[in-house]
Amino acid sequence: MLTSTYPNADIYSSCLNADIYSSCLNADIYSSCLNADIYSSCLNADIYSSCQNADIHSSCQNADIHSSCQNADITSSCQNADIHSSCQNADITSSCQNADIHSSCQNADINSSCQNADITSSCQNADITSSCQNADITSSCQNADITSSCQNADIHSACRMLTSTQPVEC
Protein backbone atom coordinates (compact mmCIF):
# COMPACT_ATOMS: atom_id res chain seq x y z
CA MET A 1 0.00 0.00 0.00
CA LEU A 2 1.43 3.35 -0.99
CA THR A 3 1.70 6.12 1.53
CA SER A 4 1.99 9.56 0.05
CA THR A 5 3.37 11.46 3.03
CA TYR A 6 6.32 12.73 1.08
CA PRO A 7 6.55 16.16 -0.57
CA ASN A 8 6.43 16.44 -4.32
CA ALA A 9 4.57 13.21 -4.93
CA ASP A 10 4.93 13.63 -8.68
CA ILE A 11 8.15 11.82 -9.63
CA TYR A 12 7.38 11.67 -13.33
CA SER A 13 7.20 15.30 -14.35
CA SER A 14 10.37 17.38 -14.44
CA CYS A 15 9.61 19.77 -17.26
CA LEU A 16 8.36 23.26 -17.86
CA ASN A 17 5.06 23.74 -19.60
CA ALA A 18 2.91 20.70 -20.30
CA ASP A 19 3.36 17.35 -22.01
CA ILE A 20 0.01 16.20 -23.31
CA TYR A 21 -0.37 12.76 -24.90
CA SER A 22 -3.78 12.04 -26.34
CA SER A 23 -4.70 8.93 -28.33
CA CYS A 24 -8.41 8.77 -27.68
CA LEU A 25 -11.83 9.27 -29.18
CA ASN A 26 -14.00 12.28 -28.29
CA ALA A 27 -11.56 13.58 -25.72
CA ASP A 28 -11.40 17.10 -24.30
CA ILE A 29 -8.11 17.91 -22.63
CA TYR A 30 -7.65 21.25 -20.88
CA SER A 31 -4.25 22.00 -19.41
CA SER A 32 -3.19 25.30 -17.85
CA CYS A 33 -0.50 24.10 -15.50
CA LEU A 34 3.20 24.06 -14.76
CA ASN A 35 5.26 20.87 -14.90
CA ALA A 36 2.26 18.75 -15.89
CA ASP A 37 2.25 15.38 -17.64
CA ILE A 38 -1.17 14.37 -18.91
CA TYR A 39 -1.61 10.97 -20.55
CA SER A 40 -4.94 10.07 -22.07
CA SER A 41 -5.70 6.86 -23.97
CA CYS A 42 -9.40 6.65 -23.32
CA LEU A 43 -12.86 6.85 -24.83
CA ASN A 44 -15.13 9.83 -24.17
CA ALA A 45 -12.82 11.34 -21.60
CA ASP A 46 -12.76 14.88 -20.22
CA ILE A 47 -9.54 15.77 -18.45
CA TYR A 48 -9.18 19.15 -16.75
CA SER A 49 -5.88 20.07 -15.16
CA SER A 50 -4.99 23.43 -13.61
CA CYS A 51 -2.23 22.41 -11.26
CA GLN A 52 1.47 22.31 -10.56
CA ASN A 53 3.63 19.22 -10.69
CA ALA A 54 0.69 17.02 -11.61
CA ASP A 55 0.96 13.58 -13.19
CA ILE A 56 -2.43 12.44 -14.47
CA HIS A 57 -2.80 9.09 -16.24
CA SER A 58 -6.14 8.07 -17.70
CA SER A 59 -6.83 4.86 -19.61
CA CYS A 60 -10.56 4.55 -19.12
CA GLN A 61 -13.97 4.95 -20.68
CA ASN A 62 -16.44 7.73 -19.88
CA ALA A 63 -14.12 9.26 -17.32
CA ASP A 64 -14.11 12.78 -15.92
CA ILE A 65 -10.87 13.63 -14.15
CA HIS A 66 -10.60 17.04 -12.50
CA SER A 67 -7.38 18.04 -10.82
CA SER A 68 -6.61 21.43 -9.29
CA CYS A 69 -3.81 20.48 -6.96
CA GLN A 70 -0.11 20.54 -6.30
CA ASN A 71 2.24 17.58 -6.44
CA ALA A 72 -0.55 15.15 -7.27
CA ASP A 73 -0.23 11.70 -8.82
CA ILE A 74 -3.64 10.64 -10.08
CA THR A 75 -4.01 7.35 -11.94
CA SER A 76 -7.32 6.15 -13.33
CA SER A 77 -7.91 2.89 -15.23
CA CYS A 78 -11.63 2.49 -14.82
CA GLN A 79 -15.02 2.84 -16.45
CA ASN A 80 -17.59 5.52 -15.68
CA ALA A 81 -15.40 7.11 -13.05
CA ASP A 82 -15.47 10.62 -11.65
CA ILE A 83 -12.27 11.52 -9.85
CA HIS A 84 -12.01 14.95 -8.25
CA SER A 85 -8.84 15.99 -6.51
CA SER A 86 -8.06 19.39 -4.98
CA CYS A 87 -5.24 18.45 -2.65
CA GLN A 88 -1.54 18.49 -1.98
CA ASN A 89 0.79 15.51 -2.11
CA ALA A 90 -2.03 13.15 -3.00
CA ASP A 91 -1.71 9.69 -4.49
CA ILE A 92 -5.11 8.63 -5.79
CA THR A 93 -5.46 5.33 -7.65
CA SER A 94 -8.75 4.08 -9.02
CA SER A 95 -9.28 0.82 -10.91
CA CYS A 96 -13.02 0.41 -10.55
CA GLN A 97 -16.38 0.72 -12.24
CA ASN A 98 -18.99 3.38 -11.52
CA ALA A 99 -16.86 4.98 -8.84
CA ASP A 100 -16.99 8.50 -7.46
CA ILE A 101 -13.81 9.41 -5.63
CA HIS A 102 -13.56 12.88 -4.08
CA SER A 103 -10.42 13.92 -2.29
CA SER A 104 -9.66 17.34 -0.80
CA CYS A 105 -6.88 16.42 1.59
CA GLN A 106 -3.19 16.46 2.29
CA ASN A 107 -0.88 13.47 2.19
CA ALA A 108 -3.70 11.11 1.24
CA ASP A 109 -3.36 7.64 -0.24
CA ILE A 110 -6.72 6.51 -1.59
CA ASN A 111 -6.96 3.17 -3.37
CA SER A 112 -10.26 1.98 -4.76
CA SER A 113 -10.82 -1.27 -6.65
CA CYS A 114 -14.56 -1.65 -6.30
CA GLN A 115 -17.89 -1.33 -8.03
CA ASN A 116 -20.51 1.33 -7.35
CA ALA A 117 -18.38 2.97 -4.69
CA ASP A 118 -18.65 6.49 -3.35
CA ILE A 119 -15.51 7.39 -1.45
CA THR A 120 -15.14 10.88 0.01
CA SER A 121 -12.07 11.96 1.91
CA SER A 122 -11.39 15.40 3.38
CA CYS A 123 -8.63 14.58 5.82
CA GLN A 124 -4.93 14.66 6.51
CA ASN A 125 -2.58 11.69 6.47
CA ALA A 126 -5.39 9.35 5.54
CA ASP A 127 -5.04 5.86 4.11
CA ILE A 128 -8.38 4.74 2.72
CA THR A 129 -8.65 1.40 0.93
CA SER A 130 -11.89 0.08 -0.48
CA SER A 131 -12.35 -3.22 -2.31
CA CYS A 132 -16.09 -3.62 -2.02
CA GLN A 133 -19.40 -3.30 -3.81
CA ASN A 134 -22.07 -0.67 -3.17
CA ALA A 135 -20.00 1.00 -0.49
CA ASP A 136 -20.30 4.53 0.85
CA ILE A 137 -17.16 5.46 2.73
CA THR A 138 -16.86 8.96 4.16
CA SER A 139 -13.87 10.08 6.15
CA SER A 140 -13.18 13.56 7.57
CA CYS A 141 -10.43 12.82 10.05
CA GLN A 142 -6.73 12.94 10.70
CA ASN A 143 -4.34 10.00 10.74
CA ALA A 144 -7.10 7.59 9.82
CA ASP A 145 -6.72 4.09 8.41
CA ILE A 146 -10.08 2.94 7.09
CA THR A 147 -10.30 -0.40 5.29
CA SER A 148 -13.50 -1.78 3.85
CA SER A 149 -13.86 -5.16 2.11
CA CYS A 150 -17.60 -5.66 2.33
CA GLN A 151 -20.85 -5.32 0.45
CA ASN A 152 -23.55 -2.70 1.00
CA ALA A 153 -21.55 -0.93 3.67
CA ASP A 154 -21.90 2.62 4.98
CA ILE A 155 -18.81 3.73 6.85
CA HIS A 156 -18.74 7.25 8.29
CA SER A 157 -15.80 8.51 10.26
CA ALA A 158 -15.19 11.97 11.76
CA CYS A 159 -12.34 11.25 14.13
CA ARG A 160 -8.67 11.47 14.87
CA MET A 161 -6.22 8.58 15.16
CA LEU A 162 -8.83 6.09 13.99
CA THR A 163 -8.29 2.55 12.73
CA SER A 164 -11.51 0.97 11.50
CA THR A 165 -11.79 -2.35 9.68
CA GLN A 166 -15.07 -3.60 8.29
CA PRO A 167 -15.22 -7.36 7.53
CA VAL A 168 -17.19 -9.02 4.79
CA GLU A 169 -20.97 -8.97 5.29
CA CYS A 170 -20.69 -6.00 7.66
Q: What is the share, in percent, of the chain residues with pLDDT greater than 70?
A: 0
| 38 vs 127, more confident | 127
What's the mean pLDDT in 76-89? Answer: 56
How much is the pLDDT for 64?
Answer: 58
For residue range 125-149, what is the model confidence (pLDDT) as tens digits? 455 565 554 455 555 554 455 555 5
* pLDDT: which is higher, 59 or 32: 59
Residue 111: in which H helix or E strand, if any?
Answer: strand 109-112
Average pLDDT on 49-66 reads 53
Residue 6 identity: Y
Task: Name the residue ranges covered by the structural domains of the chain.
Answer: 9-93, 96-170
Q: What is the pLDDT of residue 82?
A: 60
What span, in angstroms and rounded, lies between the C-alpha atoms of 58 and 78?
8
Using CA atoms, how far apart are residues 120 and 56, in angstroms rounded to an integer? 19
Rounded to the nearest 5 degrees, what angle is found at the Cα of 134, between the Cα atoms of 86 and 114? 65
